Amino acid sequence: MNPLFLTKKAFSIAVALCLLLCVTTLFIFNKNIEKQMYAEAGLSLLTQSNIRHAMLEKNFKQAQRDIRFLHATPPVKAIMLEKTSRPHSSDAESDYDIWVHRLQTIFLAYAKNHPSIAQIRFIGIADNGKELVRITRHEGQAAITQEEQLQEKEHRGYFQNVLQLQPNQVYWSDIELNREHGTIETPPWPTYRAAQVVYDTKNEPFGFVIINYYARPLIELLQSNMETGFSLFLLDQSGRYIIHPDDNKSFAYEFGDSSTWHKDFRTSTTDVSRVMLAESKQQGVKYLYSETRFQLSDRTKKHELRLITTMDHSFLKKRIQQLKMTAILIILSLYAILTLMIYLYWLLGQKSLAELHSRANYEALIRGSGDAIISTDLQGNIDSWNHSAAAMLGFDEQCVRQQNLVQILFPGEDGQIMNAIFEKLRGGADSTNFETVIKHSSGTAINASITVSLIKAKDSQPIGLAAIIRNVNESVALQKSLEESNEQFSAKNKEMEQFIYTVSHDLKSPLVTISGFASRLAEALKDILDEKQKHQFERIQMNVDHMGHLLNDLLQLSRMVQTGLEKQDINTIHVLRNVLQNMESEITRSQANIIFPDTLHPIYANESAFSQCLQNIIGNAIKFRNTDTLPCIELSTRKVGQNTVIDIKDNGLGIEEKYQQRIFNVFERLNATEGTGVGLAIVKSVMEKHNGRVALQSSLGNGSTFSLFFPNQETIQAKGP
């Protein structure tokens, strides 16, 4: 079997293998993606922590440079010397004031150029740790604190802590809410302090320079640019919250709240990638976290800040789930693509197999066909022909192969016509059909119907010609016989029409004579005739009148059949009003109500014939009315496709469905009391003359609607006469 062929069983196996491959791939992916995502989460947390650790380090190094610079300014040492070396000299006291002023100027200028600084102070040990110089920023403006406002700080915790430092060591306070006179300022604001001890000439502590910083900018810096799903905790050495995602818990310990990280969270490690996990003891919310510690090595005891960055565990789970769903969609898409490729491969095999079957069937069809089927190249040289061609034309296939078809079958002038047809096909025409006479090898004439088609390759390029020849001798003979029969029928039909016209015309004269004699006789004998005899004369006159109407209708129908109709655009409203005026006596006598709109679509018709149609249909509606209801007739027009339709609707007796076709025949009447049975036959004849039709919708007891379909002028012109 051709390798392109794929059986249904092989197709099913291939699809199953693709499914197994996709399921295996999805299993491996799901197994590894969770581990990978936890590892990436741990790395992201560590990165976030390290970034914020670097922020802290940069901030405190800058603070260290600030305190060392201010500590080293000459006025600091000069004030110490003035206070320790010459404490009783009045001149020294004057010099002391000068150095204090100079230090105030330096501190003030420095504070103005460093917006993060809240206070700069020089505090002495003497006088209960009284401030010697103080610069305070209030409402954004740095200012010198007057001497009477300087405070004693010996009672503050940081006072004793600073004095325990060794030379050149820098003191770092906790980050806490600022206090004045031992009370948290309102509104609260966080601060931290940097200090360095000033020693006297005996290497004993004299005091210290201390800077208070606004901690809010540092806190906002640490909290900035956190990735989605990440949060930050900053703890002091006791685990209390300096920064908490819930702002209400930041610095809560300053107001008596005893919450700490260890009290609020239960920590462990995840089973995947060993990432640290913290679970809220109160809410049960889980976080992945990473912790770094920032060491403040300024004291003998441990002093540090703990930076903890967290990621909501549910956020990570959601991301993992999203990735798994994405993987499922990708695998499903891949499976669909692979299945589609296998299916297309299977279809290709089936198509190839179908082509082989089709070719075999085609060859069998050609061999078994009763028509002669001949294929040639584009020049008309014969490539092949079937057994029927050999039997019909009398030539053996081997004898005519590569000979020109035109020269064999169409010698003489017919050959030129065939060459022209072949040239037309080579120019792009798909096929052509014609009838002609060809010659048998014996010379016998054969009436043939020939269809010549262009053979195209898959790329639509012409590669040859195909001719199908059918012997139509019997069809030609039958057609000739049919034409002769039609001529005879047409002649008889004309004789019948002429007979009807003649009879109708010739009978009118005797009827007029009978009517006249009957009228005069009834008038002459009116005094001696009894009621029964008078009634008999009335019956004679009524039947004569009926016969006259019948003959008039037959004459009209005969003229309609025999004569042509000149058509024009008709003002429908104008014609309708003329018809109603001619029928005024009937309408008045019956009290009929005729309803129609102010405008109606114009039609393309013969005005006289159209008037006759309206008169016949409206007259029928009046004749065959309900006895207990006044007749109501509605007329309207509409466009339906390429036709203009006139609808005439009445509330009369209605017509049963089984009679609805018969009433258009001549002499068909459903009510024997009135009418000639020719009126609707005339309507049908008129509509056929217009290439239109008449339609009827009716049911017994519910009235009738007659619809006259008149083709538009452009439609008639397109069809021709």
Quick: pLDDT tens for 553-603. 555 555 555 556 788 999 999 999 999 998 998 899 999 999 999 999 999
Mean pLDDT (whole number) for 79-101: 76
pLDDT at 134: 95
Would residue 710 be called left, alpha or beta, if left means φ above 0 and alpha means ψ between -120 and 50 degrees? beta
Question: Among the residues of 85-140, which ranges form H helices?
Answer: 90-112, 126-129
Mean pLDDT (whole number) for 693-699: 90
Residue keyed to tokens 């670097």? 54
Mean pLDDT (whole number) for 179-199: 89
Residue keyed to tokens 């009116």? 526
Mean pLDDT (whole number) for 442-454: 76
What whole-number distance in Å separates Cα of residue 594 and Cα of residue 132?
120
| More confident call, 715 vs 126 | 126
pLDDT at 561: 54
- Beta carbons within 8 Å of 609's beta carbon, 6+ residues apart: 560, 565, 686, 689, 690
Mean pLDDT (whole number) for 474-496: 68
112-121, 133-142, 395-404, 648-657: range with lowest mean pLDDT: 395-404
Are 370-471 and 565-719 equal in CATH topology? no
What whole-number distance in Å separates Cα of residue 471 and Cα of residue 461?
31
pLDDT at 381: 79
List the CATH code of the domain at 370-471: 3.30.450.20
- Band (pLDDT 50/70/90 cuts) for residue 509 is low
* First-last CA distance in the chain: 63
Instruction: Say whether pLDDT at 7 is over 70.
Output: yes
- The mean predicted confidence, pLDDT, of the chain is 81
CATH second-level architecture of 565-719?
A: 2-Layer Sandwich (3.30)
Predicted TM-score (pTM) of this structure: 0.48
Contact 579, 611 (CB under 8 A): yes
Domain-wise residue ranges, the chain:
50-314, 370-471, 478-549, 565-719
Mean pLDDT (whole number) for 687-703: 88
- Band (pLDDT 50/70/90 cuts) for residue 535 is low
Name the CATH superfamily, with its identifier, for domain 50-314. Answer: PAS domain (3.30.450.20)
Q: Give me the helix-helix angle, 313-368 and 8-71, nearest 10°.
A: 150
**DSSP 8-class letter at 175:** P
Burial of 529 (C-beta count, 10 Å sphere; 0-12/13-18/19+): middle
pLDDT at 135: 95
Mean pLDDT (whole number) for 411-439: 70
305-314, 336-345, 619-628, 709-718: range with lowest mean pLDDT: 709-718
